[in-house]
Amino acid sequence: FGSLINAGTIDGGTGSAIAFPGTETSVFPSAIVNSGSIVSEGAPATLALTASTPQQFGNSGRIVNAGTGLAIDAGSRTLGLVNASGGVIGSGGPTAIRSTFEVSLTNAGTINGGIVGGDGFADRIDTRAGIVNGSILLNGGDDRLITAIGPNTLAGNVTGTIDGGTGTDLLEVIVGQDHVLTNVTLPINFEVLQLDLTNDATLTLAAQPPAGGYFVRGTGTVVVGTDLTTTAGPAISNNYVQENLGFEELRFVNDRAVTATLTRSFDSAVALRVTTAVNSGTITAINGSGVSFQKATSEFLFTNSGTIVATNTGAIVGGMLQNTGTIRSLAGTAVSNDLGGGGVRADTSTNSGIVDGVTTGYELSSLVLVNSGVITASNGVGLGMSGATLDNHVGGIVSGTQAAIRSDGFFENYVANAGTIDGNVDFGSTSIFSSARDWFIDRGGTVNGDVRMGGGDDVFVTDLARPSGGVSGTIDGGTGFDTFRYRTSVNAQAVIAPHATFEGVGYEVAGGAKLTLTSATALDLPLSFAGTGTIDVSADLTGVGRPLIDASTLALPQYSGLGDDRPVNALSIVSRGTLTAANGPSTSRAVVYGSSTSSFENAGTIDAGSTAFAAVQSWNAVTNSGTILLNGNYAVTDAAFLINSGTIRTATGATASSGTLDVRSVTNSGTIDVAGIAISLSNDGTVSNSGMIVSTGNAAITSDGTGDGTVDNLASGTIRGSTATGAIQMHGGRLTNAGAIIGSVDMGYSPFGQSFASGTYVANGGTIAGNLVFGSGADTLIVTASTTGVSGTIDGGAGIDTITLDKASAGAAMFAGASNFERLTVVNGNWTLAGPQSYARGTSIATGASLTGTAPAFAGNVSNSGALIFDQPTSATFAGSITGTGTVTKAGAGTLTLGAQTYTGATGVTAGTLALTGGLASTDLTIASGATLTSAMGT
């Protein structure tokens, strides 16, 4: 049947309790789970499983043969068994458990009697949590025995003899509390000792390692407590059993002498996966490497104040290294140090000691190295770099006979030098496939040799007053587009100085310094700027395919790891010369390219050519007091502010161009004259114009629909668009006009029909030579002058729209009306309505304001707090209601018929007849001589 679950008693007497085959009780189960008692007292095994063993076999009860026979006999079958805590398996004879093929046993209980393993597959017995009162014989195979360490023996919970038999057998010892190891005598025929630390225990190695050395893993601290010597392999190594990798949190401490003679060149005297490692002693490796430490966690650190000497690599470190001691290789690399996982250049190693190699002193990958010590190679390269940073401090020395520093050429590298570099600095291959951007930064140090940049767009940085960069030999930019950058932190003047083999010249200011640059001759190269301060340039520049002025490159990239990263440039740049973007096959972003934290002024001329996207791009503030000539491109894009007092125009005979794109605020007192859109508003942008804004082929000003733009056309301002599109197309927003707009204005423009955004037009004394139309939102027309100044029609469009009459200055004003407005509000001034007008949502008059018109002009209700005057030359009827405290006056020779009203202000009749058909709430009546008041109610 399928399984046997026993919680009672099965007693086989002098025979077997369970056997297959046999004459006793016979079962063929796939599982045996015993929490009761299975017993016998004879020579046959209590469980005779020689024909078949269960796939699942667990015991938490008793399986006991009181006789001389086995408790469990698997014969030549594989035996897999879990003896849980409280479980007892025992025999009155010498052996309790046997399989001549394979034993896989986990014991947390008690086994009374020996265990015999097989010669088929390797045996695995884990009795770390249990006890075996007997011997263990494992026979053939590479067997594994796991036990808890004893006070004086390695296998603390096996009382009898342990024999591994043939094969390479492993004793794995669990160290769960602090322990000083003084006896490492392995059981008979065991070849390998692995020590597993748990519970953050400290294990002190106070005995010479066994023949195979120590294998250590787990969580805790390993302390070398005596001088260790091996003659045929490592002294201390990582896991022998490759399982549960990545869960170790091991710490290593050595202040003694460890000497290992290695039989394999790739082995190390000490090789561990650790969280921290500290060496203040001596580690010597003959025919191999000294130490190999790989990080077990992201915060790994190896601290060496001692001495490490090896035939091959002195120290292999996957993580951070702090060296104040000596690390030496007698034939190869002294230190091989890589990131070991994590962010590139996120970790920093330091050397203030001695790193001495033959072929390589220090091999550095994806890390930052701060060096104030000595790094040397007697027959090779002092420092090899791959995607790394060297910060060579004062007192730091790097030297090599073939090169002091060499990179692989495929990953970006940084060298900052305030110390001494003896030998050449070689940033690798100049192949077109080597495109890494390398940096050499002079910080007052010395290079006794050449500096050769690589195949990428490299940067060499030095002080303006120290153009040699401390380099005694040549400085070669290599291939790629390379920049030679001069740096100053004080106010200075300089003539722009190109450097041979470098394609560009850069300047960096710091601390708010002002740098004035000049060139008596035109230069065919670009300039780049970085830092914080002011740069004033008087030079004519020509180039193609790149910005002629570029302020986008930082003083140091944020990922350089040099500790003084400047995340943004804060520059104020003025160009007084002529910048000419030559036409060619290569395109560029802009003639002048910057950053959102810097400002630029063109006080000269920019000729954008035909291949640049824009003349000026990506600045916080742009000022144009000179001339910008366009040819199918934009003048200014991606800027917070543009102040134009100069001229922006399409060059003669050039392709149609545009003015601005994605500029938040434009102040124009000069001229912007293009065929495309002159100003494209976005994100609640603003325009203040006192100059001229012209588009000959499109609208002069448009908004992109992402916000409510604001345009203020001052008294001297002119805005002109094409006949086809009109002058201004706004997606809602506010337009105030005191100047001249030539062309129609659409306050509700959308390429998909009229916009639902609310638009406001303020007629502030300006004129529109065309129509004024609104969209489908709640729009407003505000008139602050005597007239609207609109030569064409005014159409409020759909929505609930309002006209506001608000003339603060003295004198009468007239409003001729507009179509599709639902509300009229008189805020200020003495206004006269010309012609019939209809406001379905009514009219309101504020205190101090007056409104004059005929009855048809007031179709709808009136809320009056000022003065309402019906100037009625002919007879008419007002059918609406009048409310409020304001006065009502009937003027003109005609008759005004008025129904019942609730207003409480005074009523006057200065001429003609006021004919009442209902009562008045007003009690203050004044009838002028010759005027007439009649009432259908007889009063």
At 436 the pLDDT is 84
Residues 6 or more apart whose CB falls under 8 angstroms from that of 1 comprise: 27, 28, 29
Cβ atoms of 920 and 883 closer than 8 Å: no
**Of residues 840 and 352, more confidently modeled:** 352
Q: What pLDDT is stored for residue 343 in this prediction?
A: 84
**Residues 225-264: b if buried by 16+ CB within 10 A, e if exposed:** bbebebeebbbbbbbbeeeeeeebbbbbbbebbbbbbbee
The whole-number pLDDT of residue 247 equals: 61
Give the closest residue to 572 by CA, choosing from 522, 546, 537. 537
Angle, alpha carbons 663-664-667 (nearest 5°): 85
Rounded to whole angstroms, how far apart are CA atoms 38 and 141? Answer: 31
CA-to-CA distance for 465 and 164, rounded, in angstroms?
76
| Cβ(288)–Cβ(260) below 8 Å | yes
For 700-722, what is the mean pLDDT? 92
pLDDT band at 325 (very low <50, low <70, confident <90, very high): very high
DSSP 655: P
Token representation of residue 143: 């067997």
- Longest CA span, the chain: 148
Percentages (nearest 5) of helix, strand, coil residues in the chain: 0, 50, 50
Q: What are phi and psi of 54, to 5 degrees?
A: -70, 150
User: Nearest 5°: phi and psi at 832?
Assistant: -125, 130
Q: pLDDT for 5-51, tens place per residue?
A: 999 999 999 999 998 754 444 556 789 999 999 999 999 999 999 88
Query: Which long-range contacts (C-beta less than 8 Å, at least 24 apart) are formed by 191-199?
Result: 191/164, 192/168, 192/240, 193/154, 194/170, 194/239, 194/240, 194/241, 195/149, 195/222, 196/172, 197/221, 197/222, 197/250, 198/174
439-488 pLDDT, tens digit each: 999 999 999 999 999 889 999 999 999 999 999 999 999 988 999 999 99
Q: Are 190 and 212 in contact (CB under 8 A)?
A: no
DSSP string, 104-134: EEEESSEEEEEEE--SSSPPEEE-TTSEEES
pLDDT digits (tens, 9 = 90+) for 303-324: 999 999 999 999 999 999 999 9
Burial class of residue 191, CB neighbours in 10 A (0-12, 13-18, 19+): middle
Average pLDDT over the chain reads 94
255-289: pLDDT as tens digits:
999 999 999 999 999 999 999 999 999 999 999 99
Token pair of 643, please?
Answer: 């102040």
In whole angstroms, give the CA distance from residue 503 to residue 229. 59
Q: What average pLDDT does this structure show over 359-364? A: 98
- Sole residue written with tokens 């000419």: 580
Between 687 and 28, where is the model more confident? 687
Nearest to 286 by CA among 330, 323, 253: 330
Q: Is 557 helix (H, G, I), strand (E, B) or coil?
A: coil
Is-contact 766 741, C-beta < 8 A? yes
Q: Compute the distance between CA of residue 412 and CA of residue 157 in angstroms, rounded to an integer.
A: 57
pLDDT tens-digit profile of 864-894? 999 999 999 999 999 999 999 999 999 999 9
Q: Contact, 833 vs 857, CB < 8 A?
A: yes
For the ranges 128-142, 520-534, 599-613, 742-756, the lowest mean pLDDT is seen at 742-756
For 128, residues 6+ apart whose C-beta sits below 8 A from its C-beta are 146, 147, 148, 157, 174
- Determine which of 360-364, 660-664, 752-756, 871-875 has the lowest per-residue pLDDT on average: 752-756
**Is the pLDDT at 939 greater than 50, yes or no?**
no
Closest to 288 measured CA to CA, from 324, 254, 237: 237
DSSP 252-313: EEE-SEEEEE-SSTT-EEEEEEESEEEE-SEEEEESSEEEEEEESSTT-EEEE-SEEEESS-
- The neighbour count for residue 901, using CB atoms within 10 Å, is 20
Contact 58, 85 (CB under 8 A): no
What pLDDT digit, counting tens, does each position of 907-925 carry?
Answer: 999 999 999 999 999 889 9
Give the least confident one: 306-320, 419-433, 670-684, 734-748.
Answer: 419-433
Q: How much is the pLDDT for 28?
A: 62
The residue-averaged pLDDT of 746-767 equals 92
User: Which tens digit of pLDDT belongs to each residue from 173-214?
Assistant: 999 999 999 999 999 999 999 999 999 999 999 999 999 899
Over the range 470-481, which residues count as b (16 or more CB within 10 Å of their CB) and which as e?
Answer: bbeeebbbbbbe
Mean pLDDT of 893-907: 96
C-alpha to C-alpha distances, 80 to 50, 101, 157, nearest whole angstrom: 13, 11, 21
Q: Provide the sign of the torsion angle of the four alpha carbons 357, 360, 365, 368, taken in this order.
A: positive
The pLDDT of residue 433 is 63
Quote the CA–CA distance of 203 and 175 in Å, as a whole number: 7
Q: Are 67 and 95 in contact (CB under 8 A)?
A: no
Locate 928 and state its tokens: 């002028």
Phi, psi of 858 (to 5 degrees): -110, 35
- Residue appearing with tokens 């086989």: 12
Confidence check: pLDDT of 97 > 60 = yes
Q: Characterize the bridge pairing of strands 78-83 and 62-65.
A: unpaired
User: For the CA atoms of the chain, what is the radius of gyration?
Assistant: 47
**Nearest residue to 315 via CA among 286, 340, 330, 336:** 336
pLDDT at residue 25 in the model: 47
DSSP letters along 693-719, please?
Answer: EEESSS-SEEE-SSS--EEEE-TT-EE
Tell me the pLDDT band of 928, cut-offs 50, 70 and 90: very high
Question: Tokens representing 598?
Answer: 């810097």
Q: Residue 823 contacts by C-beta under 8 Å, 6 or more apart in sequence? A: 800, 801, 802, 803, 839, 841, 842, 843, 844
The pLDDT value given to residue 241: 76
Q: Are 642 and 689 in contact (CB under 8 A)?
A: no
Strand partners, 733: 759
For the segment 386-445, what is each residue's pLDDT rounded down to a tens digit? 999 999 999 999 999 999 999 987 889 999 999 999 999 999 765 556 678 899 999 999
Terminal Cα distance for the chain, rounded = 119
For residue 571, which of 620, 617, 636, 643 has the smallest C-alpha distance? 620
What is the rounded CA–CA span in Å between residue 315 and residue 327?
A: 7
In 10 A of CB 874, how many CB atoms?
12
Cis omega (within 30 of 0) for bond into 44: no
Q: Are 9 and 39 in contact (CB under 8 A)?
A: yes
Query: CA-CA distance, 4 to 21, in Å (whole number)?
Result: 16
> Following CA atoms 746, 752, 756, 759 in sequence, which dihedral angle do they give, to the nearest 10 degrees?
-20
pLDDT over threshold 80, residue 490: yes
Contacts of residue 737, defined as CB under 8 A and 6 or more positions apart, other chains included, come to: 713, 761, 762, 763, 764, 765, 766, 767, 768, 789
